[in-house]
């Protein structure tokens, strides 16, 4: 007999395997370039069998994006029992670590899929809102009062933090080479200072000289 023997997995195990392969492939290509033929080949099954577990290519893409976003939100969720400052630092450290270690996947989703794949826009928007909500929570934990433009400011800070982490000169950030702890600590400190300074302005409008 020739050909690779198909490993018998439960439906949930097979779905998880296929999604995992999709995530691995996103490390070096965009969502547009994610081939279901190659995913099936790597799993040792036929393309037709892949669509036994997913209704369509769109459904498979959504499952992959959902898995990536779930990992991201989990990595940035601090222990709610932490005091305000350690909570904020845990959130920022989780954000920095995830983006630096999965930069290519993050770029493929946030910078690529967000604009070219309407089928996953709702998942990405939901993820951004989860992160923005944590920013607002962090601001309140630090004792900064609510402000009319807090929602807008939290999203603006997230865009700033994202650009800072992606552009920070610290290796390729894709897990292929080591990132020095000192470099990461420096980046976390930079992002943290922007958090305090930027969101702190919301309750100090007089700090802006309008003359």
What pLDDT, in 10s, does the model give residues 8-37?
Answer: 889 899 999 999 999 999 888 888 888 999
CB of 199 closer than 8 Å to CB of 157: yes
d(CA 117, CA 107): 14
Instruction: For the chain, list the strands marked E by DSSP.
Output: none
Which comes out higher in pLDDT, residue 90 or 197?
90
Q: Which two tokens stand for residue 209?
A: 């000289």
- Tell me the pLDDT tens digit for each residue of 174-188: 444 444 556 888 999
d(CA 152, CA 163): 17
**pTM to 2 decimals?**
0.80
- Helix ranges, 102-149 (H): 103-106, 114-116, 121-141
The average confidence (pLDDT) of the chain is: 82
CB of 173 closer than 8 Å to CB of 101: yes
- Tell me the pLDDT tens digit for each residue of 79-111: 999 999 999 999 999 999 998 888 888 888 776
- Tell me the pLDDT tens digit for each residue of 133-170: 998 888 888 887 777 777 788 888 888 898 898 888 75
What CATH number should be reported for the domain whose range is 11-59? 1.10.10.60
């Amino acid at each position: 007999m020739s050909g690779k023997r198909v490993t018998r997995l439960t439906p949930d195990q097979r779905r998880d395997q296929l999604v995992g392969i999709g995530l691995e492939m996103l490390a070096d290509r965009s969502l547009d370039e994610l081939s279901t033929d190659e995913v099936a080949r790597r799993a040792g099954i036929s393309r037709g069998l892949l669509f036994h577990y997913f209704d369509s290519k769109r459904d498979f893409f959504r499952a992959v994006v959902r898995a990536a976003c779930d990992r991201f939100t989990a990595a940035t969720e601090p222990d709610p029992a932490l005091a305000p400052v350690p909570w904020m630092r845990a959130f920022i450290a989780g954000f920095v670590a995830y983006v630096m270690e999965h930069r290519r996947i993050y770029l493929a989703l946030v910078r690529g899929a967000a604009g070219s794949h309407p089928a996953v826009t709702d998942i990405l928007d939901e993820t951004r809102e989860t992160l923005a909500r944590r920013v607002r929570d962090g601001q309140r934990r630090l004792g900064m009062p609510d402000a009319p433009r807090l929602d807008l400011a939290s999203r603006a800070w997230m865009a700033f933090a994202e650009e800072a982490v992606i552009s920070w000169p610290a290796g390729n950030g894709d897990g292929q080479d080591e990132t020095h702890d000192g470099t990461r600590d420096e980046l976390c400190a930079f992002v943290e200072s922007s958090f305090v300074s930027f969101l702190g302005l919301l309750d100090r409008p007089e700090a802006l000289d309008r003359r």
